[in-house]
Structure 1
Protein backbone atom coordinates (compact mmCIF):
# COMPACT_ATOMS: atom_id res chain seq x y z
CA UNK A 1 0.00 0.00 0.00
CA UNK A 2 1.34 3.41 -0.97
CA UNK A 3 1.89 5.74 1.96
CA UNK A 4 1.93 9.49 1.85
CA UNK A 5 5.34 10.96 2.72
CA UNK A 6 6.30 12.42 6.06
CA UNK A 7 7.41 16.04 5.88
CA UNK A 8 10.33 17.13 8.07
CA UNK A 9 10.76 20.88 8.46
CA UNK A 10 14.31 22.18 8.15
CA UNK A 11 15.60 25.65 8.95
CA UNK A 12 18.80 27.31 10.13
CA UNK A 13 19.87 26.32 13.68
CA UNK A 14 17.67 23.21 13.73
CA UNK A 15 18.66 20.78 16.47
CA UNK A 16 20.19 17.80 14.68
CA UNK A 17 19.65 15.23 17.42
CA UNK A 18 15.94 15.73 17.96
CA UNK A 19 14.43 14.03 14.90
CA UNK A 20 17.03 11.43 13.90
CA UNK A 21 15.39 8.45 15.56
CA UNK A 22 11.98 9.33 14.15
CA UNK A 23 13.19 9.97 10.61
CA UNK A 24 15.33 6.83 10.43
CA UNK A 25 12.68 4.46 11.70
CA UNK A 26 9.90 6.05 9.69
CA UNK A 27 12.02 5.44 6.60
CA UNK A 28 12.65 1.85 7.68
CA UNK A 29 8.92 1.50 8.21
CA UNK A 30 8.18 2.41 4.61
CA UNK A 31 7.63 6.15 4.79
CA UNK A 32 9.41 8.55 2.46
CA UNK A 33 10.80 11.42 4.54
CA UNK A 34 10.91 14.72 2.61
CA UNK A 35 12.55 17.87 3.96
CA UNK A 36 10.65 21.15 3.82
CA UNK A 37 12.26 24.58 4.02
CA UNK A 38 11.07 28.15 3.69
CA UNK A 39 12.51 27.91 0.18
CA UNK A 40 13.45 24.87 -1.90
CA UNK A 41 16.51 26.57 -3.36
CA UNK A 42 18.15 27.90 -0.20
CA UNK A 43 20.22 25.46 1.89
CA UNK A 44 19.90 25.59 5.67
CA UNK A 45 22.53 24.85 8.30
CA UNK A 46 21.82 22.91 11.48
CA UNK A 47 23.27 23.61 14.93
CA UNK A 48 25.79 20.86 14.21
CA UNK A 49 26.85 22.50 10.97
CA UNK A 50 25.09 20.08 8.62
CA UNK A 51 24.07 21.71 5.35
CA UNK A 52 20.65 20.59 4.11
CA UNK A 53 19.01 21.44 0.79
CA UNK A 54 15.22 21.19 1.29
CA UNK A 55 13.27 18.91 -1.01
CA UNK A 56 10.27 21.23 -1.01
CA UNK A 57 9.24 24.77 -0.16
CA UNK A 58 6.82 25.19 2.72
CA UNK A 59 4.16 26.88 0.60
CA UNK A 60 3.97 23.84 -1.69
CA UNK A 61 3.17 21.33 1.05
CA UNK A 62 -0.48 20.39 1.49
CA UNK A 63 -1.87 18.45 4.47
CA UNK A 64 -3.80 16.09 2.20
CA UNK A 65 -0.52 14.99 0.59
CA UNK A 66 1.22 14.22 3.88
CA UNK A 67 1.17 11.61 6.64
CA UNK A 68 2.82 13.88 9.21
CA UNK A 69 4.59 17.22 9.66
CA UNK A 70 7.61 17.11 12.01
CA UNK A 71 8.89 20.38 13.50
CA UNK A 72 12.32 20.17 15.18
CA UNK A 73 13.61 22.67 17.68
CA UNK A 74 15.90 25.50 16.60
CA UNK A 75 17.35 28.66 18.12
CA UNK A 76 15.28 30.63 15.60
CA UNK A 77 12.01 29.66 17.31
CA UNK A 78 12.93 32.07 20.12
CA UNK A 79 14.71 34.71 18.06
CA UNK A 80 11.83 36.35 16.20
CA UNK A 81 9.08 35.45 13.77
CA UNK A 82 11.12 33.79 11.02
CA UNK A 83 9.62 30.37 11.76
CA UNK A 84 6.04 31.54 12.37
CA UNK A 85 5.01 30.28 8.89
CA UNK A 86 5.86 26.75 10.02
CA UNK A 87 3.57 27.10 13.05
CA UNK A 88 0.81 28.39 10.78
CA UNK A 89 1.32 25.37 8.55
CA UNK A 90 0.98 23.16 11.63
CA UNK A 91 -2.38 24.82 12.29
CA UNK A 92 -3.49 24.02 8.73
CA UNK A 93 -2.36 20.39 9.10
CA UNK A 94 -4.22 19.86 12.34
CA UNK A 95 -7.34 21.54 10.97
CA UNK A 96 -7.22 19.15 8.00
CA UNK A 97 -6.80 16.09 10.22
CA UNK A 98 -3.12 15.50 9.42
CA UNK A 99 -0.81 14.86 12.41
CA UNK A 100 1.91 17.23 13.62
CA UNK A 101 4.89 16.42 15.87
CA UNK A 102 6.84 19.23 17.55
CA UNK A 103 9.86 19.04 19.82
CA UNK A 104 11.81 21.58 21.90
CA UNK A 105 11.57 25.14 20.55
CA UNK A 106 8.92 24.14 18.05
CA UNK A 107 6.54 23.63 20.97
CA UNK A 108 6.97 27.31 21.82
CA UNK A 109 6.13 28.17 18.23
CA UNK A 110 2.92 26.16 18.51
CA UNK A 111 2.16 27.80 21.85
CA UNK A 112 2.43 31.25 20.27
CA UNK A 113 0.12 30.05 17.50
CA UNK A 114 -2.46 29.02 20.12
CA UNK A 115 -2.28 25.33 19.24
CA UNK A 116 -1.46 24.16 22.78
CA UNK A 117 -4.18 26.07 24.61
CA UNK A 118 -6.68 23.21 24.36
CA UNK A 119 -4.42 20.17 24.00
CA UNK A 120 -2.34 18.18 26.47
CA UNK A 121 1.33 18.81 25.73
CA UNK A 122 4.84 18.95 27.08
CA UNK A 123 8.11 20.74 26.30
CA UNK A 124 11.47 21.44 27.92
CA UNK A 125 9.92 22.89 31.12
CA UNK A 126 6.58 24.49 31.86
CA UNK A 127 7.96 27.99 32.44
CA UNK A 128 9.59 27.96 29.01
CA UNK A 129 6.16 27.78 27.42
CA UNK A 130 4.63 30.10 30.03
CA UNK A 131 7.02 32.81 28.82
CA UNK A 132 5.21 32.79 25.46
CA UNK A 133 2.07 34.10 27.17
CA UNK A 134 0.00 31.19 25.90
CA UNK A 135 -3.18 29.97 27.60
CA UNK A 136 -2.38 26.28 27.81
CA UNK A 137 -0.56 26.13 31.15
CA UNK A 138 -3.18 23.88 32.79
CA UNK A 139 -2.73 21.34 29.96
CA UNK A 140 1.06 21.04 30.46
CA UNK A 141 2.15 17.48 31.37
CA UNK A 142 5.45 16.72 33.14
CA UNK A 143 6.53 13.70 31.11
CA UNK A 144 8.91 12.73 28.31
CA UNK A 145 6.47 13.07 25.37
CA UNK A 146 2.74 13.58 24.95
CA UNK A 147 0.25 12.66 22.24
CA UNK A 148 -3.11 14.42 22.28
CA UNK A 149 -5.15 13.40 19.27
CA UNK A 150 -3.09 14.31 16.23
CA UNK A 151 -0.42 16.34 18.05
CA UNK A 152 2.83 14.99 19.51
CA UNK A 153 5.07 17.17 21.70
CA UNK A 154 8.36 16.53 23.52
CA UNK A 155 11.28 18.31 25.13
CA UNK A 156 14.81 18.58 23.71
CA UNK A 157 16.26 15.74 25.81
CA UNK A 158 13.68 13.20 24.65
CA UNK A 159 14.32 12.34 20.98
CA UNK A 160 13.64 8.64 21.60
CA UNK A 161 10.34 9.23 23.39
CA UNK A 162 9.42 11.71 20.65
CA UNK A 163 10.08 9.02 18.04
CA UNK A 164 8.15 6.45 20.10
CA UNK A 165 5.03 8.60 20.00
CA UNK A 166 5.39 9.23 16.26
CA UNK A 167 5.95 5.54 15.48
CA UNK A 168 2.89 4.65 17.57
CA UNK A 169 0.76 7.34 15.96
CA UNK A 170 1.56 6.15 12.43
CA UNK A 171 1.39 2.47 13.33
CA UNK A 172 5.00 1.69 12.45
CA UNK A 173 5.42 -0.27 15.70
CA UNK A 174 2.78 -1.29 18.22
CA UNK A 175 2.39 -3.09 21.53
CA UNK A 176 5.33 -5.15 22.74
CA UNK A 177 7.36 -4.31 19.63
CA UNK A 178 7.08 -0.58 20.28
CA UNK A 179 7.91 -1.15 23.95
CA UNK A 180 10.96 -3.21 22.98
CA UNK A 181 12.08 -0.57 20.48
CA UNK A 182 11.92 2.09 23.20
CA UNK A 183 13.73 -0.07 25.76
CA UNK A 184 16.50 -0.82 23.27
CA UNK A 185 17.17 2.74 22.14
CA UNK A 186 16.36 4.58 25.37
CA UNK A 187 17.50 2.14 28.03
CA UNK A 188 20.09 0.07 26.10
CA UNK A 189 18.16 -3.05 27.15
CA UNK A 190 19.83 -5.84 25.20
CA UNK A 191 16.92 -8.22 25.88
CA UNK A 192 14.66 -5.94 23.86
CA UNK A 193 16.65 -6.70 20.71
CA UNK A 194 15.38 -10.28 20.68
CA UNK A 195 11.80 -9.04 20.59
CA UNK A 196 12.56 -6.79 17.62
CA UNK A 197 14.47 -9.54 15.81
CA UNK A 198 11.54 -11.94 16.27
CA UNK A 199 9.10 -9.33 15.00
CA UNK A 200 11.27 -8.63 11.93
CA UNK A 201 11.33 -12.33 11.08
CA UNK A 202 7.54 -12.55 11.01
Structure 2
Protein backbone atom coordinates (compact mmCIF):
# COMPACT_ATOMS: atom_id res chain seq x y z
CA UNK A 1 0.00 0.00 0.00
CA UNK A 2 1.63 3.25 -1.11
CA UNK A 3 1.03 6.43 0.88
CA UNK A 4 0.59 10.09 0.01
CA UNK A 5 3.59 12.37 0.57
CA UNK A 6 2.27 14.18 3.63
CA UNK A 7 0.29 12.57 6.47
CA UNK A 8 -3.04 13.59 7.93
CA UNK A 9 -2.67 14.64 11.56
CA UNK A 10 -5.37 13.90 14.13
CA UNK A 11 -5.37 15.68 17.49
CA UNK A 12 -5.81 13.33 20.46
CA UNK A 13 -6.65 14.24 24.04
CA UNK A 14 -8.55 12.87 27.02
CA UNK A 15 -12.34 12.58 26.48
CA UNK A 16 -11.92 12.59 22.67
CA UNK A 17 -15.20 11.63 20.97
CA UNK A 18 -14.29 8.32 19.31
CA UNK A 19 -17.16 8.27 16.80
CA UNK A 20 -16.42 11.59 15.13
CA UNK A 21 -13.32 10.84 13.07
CA UNK A 22 -13.44 7.14 12.23
CA UNK A 23 -15.09 7.44 8.83
CA UNK A 24 -12.56 10.03 7.71
CA UNK A 25 -9.41 8.39 8.99
CA UNK A 26 -10.31 4.83 7.98
CA UNK A 27 -11.10 5.74 4.39
CA UNK A 28 -8.16 8.11 4.00
CA UNK A 29 -5.84 5.39 5.25
CA UNK A 30 -7.34 2.59 3.16
CA UNK A 31 -6.89 4.37 -0.16
CA UNK A 32 -9.95 2.52 -1.47
CA UNK A 33 -11.86 4.31 -4.23
CA UNK A 34 -9.29 7.14 -4.25
CA UNK A 35 -8.99 9.18 -7.43
CA UNK A 36 -5.25 8.41 -7.46
CA UNK A 37 -3.61 5.33 -6.04
CA UNK A 38 -2.23 5.60 -2.55
CA UNK A 39 -3.43 6.25 0.97
CA UNK A 40 -2.71 8.76 3.71
CA UNK A 41 -0.64 7.99 6.76
CA UNK A 42 -2.61 8.92 9.89
CA UNK A 43 -0.49 10.50 12.64
CA UNK A 44 -1.90 11.26 16.10
CA UNK A 45 -0.83 14.46 17.88
CA UNK A 46 -0.91 14.97 21.65
CA UNK A 47 -0.04 17.91 23.82
CA UNK A 48 2.61 15.60 25.29
CA UNK A 49 3.75 12.09 24.54
CA UNK A 50 1.69 10.69 27.42
CA UNK A 51 -1.22 8.34 26.63
CA UNK A 52 -4.73 9.78 26.45
CA UNK A 53 -8.07 8.09 27.09
CA UNK A 54 -10.99 8.64 24.74
CA UNK A 55 -14.64 9.01 25.74
CA UNK A 56 -15.06 5.35 24.81
CA UNK A 57 -12.22 4.28 27.10
CA UNK A 58 -9.63 3.57 24.41
CA UNK A 59 -6.03 4.39 25.27
CA UNK A 60 -4.02 6.20 22.58
CA UNK A 61 -0.29 6.93 22.70
CA UNK A 62 0.36 10.00 20.51
CA UNK A 63 2.76 9.62 17.61
CA UNK A 64 3.85 13.26 17.78
CA UNK A 65 3.67 16.20 20.16
CA UNK A 66 1.86 19.38 19.16
CA UNK A 67 4.94 21.58 19.42
CA UNK A 68 6.66 19.41 16.79
CA UNK A 69 3.80 19.70 14.28
CA UNK A 70 4.27 22.12 11.38
CA UNK A 71 1.79 22.91 8.59
CA UNK A 72 4.35 22.30 5.86
CA UNK A 73 4.64 18.67 6.95
CA UNK A 74 0.91 17.97 6.88
CA UNK A 75 -1.95 17.45 4.45
CA UNK A 76 -4.66 18.17 7.03
CA UNK A 77 -5.21 18.72 10.76
CA UNK A 78 -8.32 17.06 12.24
CA UNK A 79 -9.64 18.35 15.58
CA UNK A 80 -12.20 15.96 17.15
CA UNK A 81 -14.69 16.96 19.81
CA UNK A 82 -14.03 16.27 23.49
CA UNK A 83 -15.48 17.29 26.84
CA UNK A 84 -12.24 19.15 27.50
CA UNK A 85 -13.08 21.75 24.83
CA UNK A 86 -15.89 23.01 27.10
CA UNK A 87 -14.06 22.53 30.39
CA UNK A 88 -11.42 25.27 30.13
CA UNK A 89 -8.46 26.31 28.05
CA UNK A 90 -6.38 23.11 28.15
CA UNK A 91 -6.94 22.49 24.43
CA UNK A 92 -6.45 26.12 23.34
CA UNK A 93 -2.98 25.28 21.93
CA UNK A 94 -4.72 23.17 19.27
CA UNK A 95 -6.85 26.15 18.24
CA UNK A 96 -3.71 28.25 17.92
CA UNK A 97 -2.12 25.52 15.83
CA UNK A 98 -5.24 25.54 13.64
CA UNK A 99 -4.66 29.25 13.03
CA UNK A 100 -1.09 28.52 11.93
CA UNK A 101 -2.36 25.84 9.53
CA UNK A 102 -4.99 28.12 8.00
CA UNK A 103 -2.50 30.98 7.70
CA UNK A 104 -0.23 28.59 5.80
CA UNK A 105 -3.02 27.42 3.48
CA UNK A 106 -3.18 23.91 4.98
CA UNK A 107 -6.70 22.65 5.73
CA UNK A 108 -8.20 22.15 9.18
CA UNK A 109 -11.26 20.03 9.99
CA UNK A 110 -13.06 20.62 13.31
CA UNK A 111 -16.11 18.85 14.68
CA UNK A 112 -18.28 19.18 17.79
CA UNK A 113 -16.51 20.94 20.69
CA UNK A 114 -13.47 21.64 18.57
CA UNK A 115 -15.61 24.05 16.54
CA UNK A 116 -16.22 26.02 19.74
CA UNK A 117 -12.49 25.96 20.41
CA UNK A 118 -11.60 27.52 17.09
CA UNK A 119 -14.53 29.94 17.49
CA UNK A 120 -12.87 31.28 20.63
CA UNK A 121 -9.70 31.71 18.59
CA UNK A 122 -11.65 33.89 16.13
CA UNK A 123 -11.22 31.52 13.21
CA UNK A 124 -14.93 31.45 12.31
CA UNK A 125 -15.60 35.17 12.15
CA UNK A 126 -14.82 35.45 8.44
CA UNK A 127 -15.58 31.92 7.25
CA UNK A 128 -18.79 30.00 6.59
CA UNK A 129 -19.20 27.30 9.22
CA UNK A 130 -21.62 25.14 11.16
CA UNK A 131 -21.91 23.45 14.55
CA UNK A 132 -24.61 21.78 16.66
CA UNK A 133 -26.57 25.07 16.91
CA UNK A 134 -25.50 28.69 16.51
CA UNK A 135 -26.41 29.40 20.14
CA UNK A 136 -23.62 27.08 21.26
CA UNK A 137 -21.08 29.18 19.40
CA UNK A 138 -22.63 32.48 20.50
CA UNK A 139 -21.91 31.43 24.10
CA UNK A 140 -18.17 31.29 23.31
CA UNK A 141 -16.09 34.31 24.27
CA UNK A 142 -14.34 35.67 21.18
CA UNK A 143 -16.88 34.39 18.65
CA UNK A 144 -18.15 36.99 16.19
CA UNK A 145 -19.17 34.86 13.24
CA UNK A 146 -22.92 34.37 13.68
CA UNK A 147 -23.61 36.00 10.31
CA UNK A 148 -21.49 33.29 8.63
CA UNK A 149 -23.23 30.40 10.41
CA UNK A 150 -24.81 27.80 8.08
CA UNK A 151 -27.56 25.43 9.23
CA UNK A 152 -26.08 22.43 7.40
CA UNK A 153 -24.67 19.00 8.23
CA UNK A 154 -21.09 20.04 7.42
CA UNK A 155 -19.50 23.07 5.78
CA UNK A 156 -16.36 23.50 3.71
CA UNK A 157 -15.15 27.08 3.27
CA UNK A 158 -11.73 27.31 1.67
CA UNK A 159 -9.39 25.41 3.96
CA UNK A 160 -11.79 25.03 6.90
CA UNK A 161 -14.22 22.16 7.47
CA UNK A 162 -16.73 22.23 10.33
CA UNK A 163 -19.50 19.90 11.50
CA UNK A 164 -21.71 19.24 14.49
CA UNK A 165 -21.40 16.21 16.79
CA UNK A 166 -24.06 14.13 15.01
CA UNK A 167 -22.52 14.40 11.54
CA UNK A 168 -19.35 12.28 11.34
CA UNK A 169 -20.22 10.99 7.85
CA UNK A 170 -20.86 14.47 6.43
CA UNK A 171 -17.68 15.63 8.18
CA UNK A 172 -15.72 12.91 6.37
CA UNK A 173 -17.42 13.80 3.09
CA UNK A 174 -16.17 17.39 3.25
CA UNK A 175 -12.68 16.22 4.21
CA UNK A 176 -12.63 13.98 1.14
CA UNK A 177 -13.91 16.86 -0.97
CA UNK A 178 -11.20 19.24 0.23
CA UNK A 179 -8.41 16.69 -0.28
CA UNK A 180 -9.92 15.71 -3.65
CA UNK A 181 -9.49 12.01 -2.95
CA UNK A 182 -12.64 10.89 -4.79
CA UNK A 183 -14.23 11.84 -8.09
CA UNK A 184 -17.55 13.71 -7.60
CA UNK A 185 -19.51 10.60 -8.59
CA UNK A 186 -17.65 8.40 -6.09
CA UNK A 187 -17.92 11.01 -3.34
CA UNK A 188 -21.68 11.20 -3.82
CA UNK A 189 -21.98 7.41 -3.80
CA UNK A 190 -19.78 7.07 -0.72
CA UNK A 191 -21.98 9.50 1.20
CA UNK A 192 -25.22 7.88 0.03
CA UNK A 193 -23.96 4.47 1.13
CA UNK A 194 -22.62 5.40 4.56
CA UNK A 195 -25.13 8.10 5.49
CA UNK A 196 -28.31 6.74 3.92
CA UNK A 197 -27.64 3.01 3.41
CA UNK A 198 -28.46 3.50 -0.28
CA UNK A 199 -27.70 0.11 -1.84
CA UNK A 200 -27.54 1.60 -5.33
CA UNK A 201 -24.44 3.53 -4.28
CA UNK A 202 -22.54 0.28 -3.74
CA UNK A 203 -22.52 -0.48 -7.45
CA UNK A 204 -20.91 2.90 -8.18
CA UNK A 205 -18.19 2.25 -5.61
CA UNK A 206 -17.50 -1.25 -6.92
CA UNK A 207 -17.16 0.12 -10.43
CA UNK A 208 -14.57 2.56 -9.12
The alignment's TM-score, normalised by the length of structure 2, stands at: 0.94
Structure 2 counterparts to residues 1-202 of structure 1, below 5 A: 2-29=4-31, 30-40=39-49, 42-133=50-141, 134-199=143-208
Give CA deviations for 1:104-154 in whole Å, capped at 9, x if unaligned. 000000000000000000001110000003100000000000000000000
- State the SS of the aligned residue for 1:153: strand
Structure 1 gaps of 5+ residues are none
Output the TM-score relative to the length of structure 1. 0.97
* CA distance in 2: counterparts of 1:93 and 1:144, whole angstroms: 23
Contact 2:130/2:163 (<8 A) preserved: yes
CA distance in 1, matches of 2:139, 2:4: 42
Partners of 2:89 and 2:22 lie apart in 1 by: 25
Residues in 1 aligned to 2:29 and 2:101: alpha-carbon distance in whole angstroms:
21
**What are the ranges of 5 or more consecutive residues in structure 2 without an aligned counterpart?**
32-38
CA contact (8 A) 2:46 2:64 kept: yes
Inter-partner Cα distance in structure 2 for 1:194 and 1:3: 30
Shift of 1:2: 4.1
Report the number of matched residues.
198
Deviation readout 1:9-51 (Å, 9 max, x if unpaired): 00000000000000001101200000000012x0000000000
Query: Structure 1 runs of 4+ off > 2 angstroms?
Result: none
CA drift of 1:174 comes to: 2.3
Q: CA deviation at 1:171?
A: 1.1
Deviates more, 1:146-155 or 1:131-140: 131-140
